[in-house]
Structures are given as structure tokens and as C-alpha cells.
Chain A
Amino acid sequence: MRLLSTLSAVLLAAATSLAFDPTAYENTQIQRTYELGGAATNVQTVYTVRALKDSLGGYELVLSSPEEDVEDGTNYWEVMQGGKVWESLTVQSLSDGRKTVTIPLEPAPVGGPITFTLSQVLVHHSHPLPASIGQDDEQYLMFETNQTMVESLYSTRKETIKYRYAMRTSPSKKIISHSPAPEKYIQVGANASKKSGGTLTLGPYTSVPPTVSLSSAGVLTREPGFSMSPLKIHYPFEEPVKTIEKLVRLAEVSHWGDNLNVEDHIRLVNTGAHLKGQFSRIQYQMARFRPTFPAQIIRNIIYPLPPHSHSAYYYDVIGNISTSNFRPSHPTRGGPAILELRPRYPILGGWMDEFTVGWDMRLGDWLRSVKGHESQKVLRVPFMTALPGVVVDQAELVITLPEGARDVNVTVPFPVDAIEHSTHKTYLDSIGRPRITIKKRMCVEKHEQDVYVTYTYPFTAQFQKVFTVGIATAVMFAAFALAKRLDVRISKVAKVVG
């Protein structure tokens, strides 16, 4: 229930001035690793922290630098310790919308080092360079960042930053070039930066003073002496850069059918290097005979579905797309069902495809009744499906509850942009179904978490439709019976003289 507690923490935390002491802690070591990818870049920071004073509040962890535009990025973060997610952390909302996380380190004795890891994701920080390439050319991306230092409210003894390009298909691929690293705070004698194969290392920096400070008004300000200089890294990327511009997931609950139907409307764009010139089918078909197939072309998408999903479908506005394979999960052992989607046409750089994927699931796996209160239900719906390396610019989850559901409550696992309640009328409805719309921008793999909906669904509500249809039929029957017996002729003798 980390999610719940996080949420409540968010709600509870006020943008008040914080009593904190920058000399209470010291980072003995910070190591940050950027995994250079396509649309999403994973960032992992390992902190080793030492308390200098006794119980002076928790360690304040800064999630973003003051210059960064928080509105633009994903606000995903996670703190882990010893391989486990650290739960019940207090989030402080600052007055400018930024957040810091208080990590309760009070019980730690003075001097004892504590290690924890912060995971974050940067989205759309790499762009293709050259911006357009030929159909068979290789794709290169340029990663750009202003952040060559880890933001901290405390001083740091030793700090290393690594930019790593994960080599997948051909390990010989290397980072082509990078701009010079800022030289400040680098120990004399050490290299400013070190490039080896797919990794670029900055630092180690030693004895770094705090990079930011927190004013009493709750505003994060840059400490003087730190100026941000951009760093650019140019690296090969042998995969398509996939971005889902818009994802709308419709989930519909049916108690009668014991079914949870999920339908994803997806607009997928290949945001890698644009295609220079025109697409040549013959070149594409001939590429099969070459050792490396142009990797920046999206040829298929593996779409994992929850266990025991069935009746999957795949279509777009002009009808069914016949090129797909569905592998259901093992009937006894379970495991995810796999939907292999092949778009109608290969999606080259800059091209777009829009389609709908849907499937059915047993409601019993996703819905529980509260013990003792059988009419109270708890529904679990996955917010989205994680596709490796894919960024969803605009995600929307629409949950439609059965007609007659009341007291609807939604619990989200992470902060979202909006939660809206509305009523939806469809087949055989008389009063309409409650509908919940949850919106969030910039989602990544890690947002594949469950949304919980609790609602009351009385037993009698199940018979609402039966009742409606029964009444309608009876009225129709009566009307026909009446019409048949009614004589509307003007005169009984209506014979025309021939």
C-alpha cells in the first residue's frame, strides 16, 4: 500500500516553510547513471549518506533542479533501499510546484553510512541527429542535458556521473562524440571525462558544496558558483524511437457477463530520424537479405496482456488489421498473454499509425467484494500497458462502471493531472453508468500500476435492465393489441362504385 500512503502524504503535505539544516547530513558518495535510450532515459542515483548531527529531521531529497521545467516531464520517482521500494515517504510540495522527498533517517546513528537509490525517468531528452536519414542508414541520437551535477541540499564528498549507452545488437557501436564536460570541482589530476565504448564518465568530483538551497519560503534556489552548462552526447541507437502521442484506455465492467473489457486507442509515432526521400518497398524487401535490417523501422509491437486475457482484437478506423498473432497465457500456469501486433505498413521515421487493441478478462480476477458487505466492490484496473522504452505523451484511463453503481471512490497509485466523474448512457440504459476519467501526461513503463475503484453495487441494480426491457416490451405489446382492436374507419360501407 505504498501507493496509498504516498498519495495521502501528497495530500497532507503543505507548502510550508521547512525547518531544515544543510549541515545535518553529508553525502559521502553519489553515483548517477543515465541509461541513454530512445524516447525515455532512465536515471539512477545511488546516495551514500552520513548523518552529522543527531535527529535533525529527515534527509531532504531534491527531485529536480530549479531550472528544469517540471511541467514538461514525467514526475515519476521511486526511492529504493536494499532492492526494496521505500514506502511511506513524506513528500513536501514546494511553492513553485516542485517537490522534495523527506527520507526519515533519524534513527541512524551519527556517522553510520546509509545507502539508498533514487530512480527517475527523463522523457524526450534525445533527438535524432541527423534529423532525417535514408531508409537503410543508421540512426543516431543526440542526448542533451543541462544537468552535469546531482542536485543536493547537502555537501558531497565524491560524485560520479555516468552516461551509458546500452549496446544491444552490435557491441562495436560507440558513443560518437560529446561536448566537453564542465571542469569545475574536478580534482586536479583526474580526467574531466572518460569515454570508453558506450560509456561516458564525468568526474569524480570531490568536495562539492550544496548545489541548491531551500529558502524559508519554500523556494528552491541555485547556490552561487554553479552555472549550468549543457552537455551533448551523440550516440547510435539501433531501435526505433517509439512515442505514443495519445493513449486512451477504456475499461468497462460487466457484472452480468463477468467480464472486464479493456480497449486501448493508440496513436503511435516513430519519433526517430525522419525518412529522407521516399519509402522504397523493393529496398525494404531486399533488406531482409542483408546482415542488418534497418533498425529504426517499427515492424511489430509486442503487446503483453494480463494473464487469462481472451478475445483480443486489433483494428483501426477502416477495419480489422489481419496481421497479428495472439498467444494466450498457459491455461494452468498463467503468465502474460502476448499479442504480437504488426501494423498495416512498416512505420518509418516520422510516420504515424493509429489503432485500437482490446481484450476481455474475467472480472473475478479484478474485482473483489468487501467481506461482510457484499454490495461493496473493489475494482482494480491497470493504468496502462508497459511497452519497453515507449513514452506516452498523453494517457487517459476511462473506467465505466455498471449502471446502478453508487458511492464511487478512486485511488490512484501516483499523482495524476485530473480525475473526472461523469455519466455515460449506452445500450438499454435508463439512468446511465458512472464513468471515471483519469488523465496523465508523460507516462513511462513504470506507470503500469493499478488504479483502485471502490463502489457500491446493490443486488437489485442487476435487474434494472431486465425491468426496463420488460416494461418496454409490455408497453409495445399493449399498444399493438389496442391498435389491432381499434376501428378507425370513417364509414363502415366504404365501397366505391365501379
Chain B
Amino acid sequence: MSATTKTPTVPEGRTASQASAVTRLLGDRRLPVLVTAALFLAMYITGLSRYQNYGFAEPQVFLNLFIDNGYLLVAAVGATFVILSGGIDLSVGSLIGFTTMFTAWLVERQGLPLLLVIPLALAVGAFGGFLMGYVIHNFEIQPFIVTLAGLFLFRGLCLVISKESISISDSTVSSMAQTRVSLGLGELSIGAIVALVVLAAAFYILHYTRFGRRVYAVGGNEQSALLMGLPLGGTKIAVYTMSGFCSALAGLLFMLYIQSGDPLHAVGMELDAIAAVVIGGTLLTGGSGYVLGTLFGVLVLGLIKSIIQFEGTLSSWWTKIATGVLLCAFILIQRAMTARKQT
């Protein structure tokens, strides 16, 4: 196993060219993203061949992936930032649930206009993320525990608002939820478009701004980042604030998608988000990964769901099992990659 690992950067000689090509491929950070993209394509083509007569080939089936998973994409983008910085955020699902509940309550019970509620909900989410980031950085408590407390807190606050679900009949919400933007081949909902905009913004921030480089640096090696003079605390807090903001935005999209607030909405969504990030090839130790990979991760998870729907005979719990198996496979791929890099 370790015979080929010593020469990752050796210029290829005649004999070693085969081996070094393999090492280079395994050492390439883009490999997991490519694997995920290939997996997505393979799954899509399988779906095409199996369910051709059931309308799987319609472009709308593909676009529905974005419509049905837009909120997950936004949450996963937030989680990507946190995981790239070497942390973890378990409060995503609760914060999504809380946002649906909070907005539904403000719009329906308090009669506030939606335009006022949206910035308010986003601010609450971002502030929640900020607080968690502040505690994680300033008191050096593990992110796992702090965001776990966040999970309890936001889920609890949902229940404090109301034990029953609140359905939203506000006309602005329903008209926004039903708006479809035509793309020629098919149509997208507002939620899907927002998700794509968030993805583009995250891509820009991560790869073309100073902050993006800091996130990678902090995730790669916190100590080195500190010694380089990077603002460690600021970066970490900003990352959790961003994750809180993304979760709140995901909550708004989820609210649009489902048009109600429920204290049990999005239970366990953090696992889906983390799974999408991992399947998208981001290293859970931080410092390596791409936000585009997260897109493919979300699409793969979404495709599993729609294939199970098309199959008809499979039950919903196969989604969980398939997600777990994929998660396992990708973690092992990551492990193989990092093992080669270290030796």
C-alpha cells in the first residue's frame, strides 16, 4: 500500500510514470468532487434508462431537484463553510425549524408583513450563529458541544412559540411559493433561484476573497494560521455567523416550500447537510473541499429521493440507508486520500 506513496512530487520517469500518475490523481483535491459528479451522472443515466417511460427524461425532473432541495442546498453551503474551517454545526436543523416557526408565528399570529419578517428572521439566525461562534472561540469549548446546546435551544424555542404547527395562509407567501420562473426547458421556483444565488455567492466568497482564503487556512492548520497573523477569532465567528444566516435562509425557503411552521420541521436536517458536504468531497478535518462539491452532494441526495419515488416499491427508509452507505464510501475515499498525502 505504501510502495507508491513516497514520490508524490517526483517528476515522472519512464518506470514510475504509471505509479506517479495514480498518486497524482489520488492526491488531487478535486478528485472527490469529480467522483461525486461522476456518481451523480451515473445515477442520472441509470434513472434515465430505468424510468424512461415514466417521464424521467423531462428536464423538469432535473430542475425539480433544485426546487425540492433548495433549502438543503443553502443549509449545506453554510455547513461547508463551518466544516472547511475545521468545525461542525449541529444546530442547522433546529435553526431551520425555528425559522419556519418564528416566521409563521410573526406573519400569522402577529400580522407583521412578510417583508419585515424576512430580515428579522435572517438577523435572528445570524445572531444565533454569532453567539455560538463567540462562545466556541472565546471560551475554547468544542464546537460539537456548543452547537449541540444550540440544537436544544432552538428546538426548545420552537416549542415555546407553539406546540402545534401553524399553517401560513398569507397571500404574499403563497403567491411567492407558487411563482415559477420559466427557463425555456422547464421552470424553477423562487426558492431554487435563491439557493443558486447563495451557491454562486459562496463560490465567490470562498475562492475570490480574503475571507475565503482565511477559512481554508484556519481549517488547514489553526496554529499556522495564527502564526501567520490571520485573525483566527474573527474568521471562526464569521464562519458560524454565516452558517446561522444560511440556516435561517434555508428555514425561510423551507417555509416557502412547505407553507407552514412546525416545531418538528427539519428534525435531523443537520445530518443531511453534513452528509451532503462530506459526499461532496469536503474533508471533515477542514481545510480542503469545494462548495461545488456540496452542490453535487445535495443533488446526489436529492436524486436518491426521486429515484426512490420513481421506483415506487421502495420505502422511504431506503433513503436513509443509501445516504449512510454513500457517506461511508466517501469517508473511506477521503481516508485513502489523506493517508497518501501524509506518508
Q: Are A and B physically bound partners?
A: no
Please give the residue numbers on chain A whose beta carbons come within 8 Å of chain B beta carbons, in ascending order: none
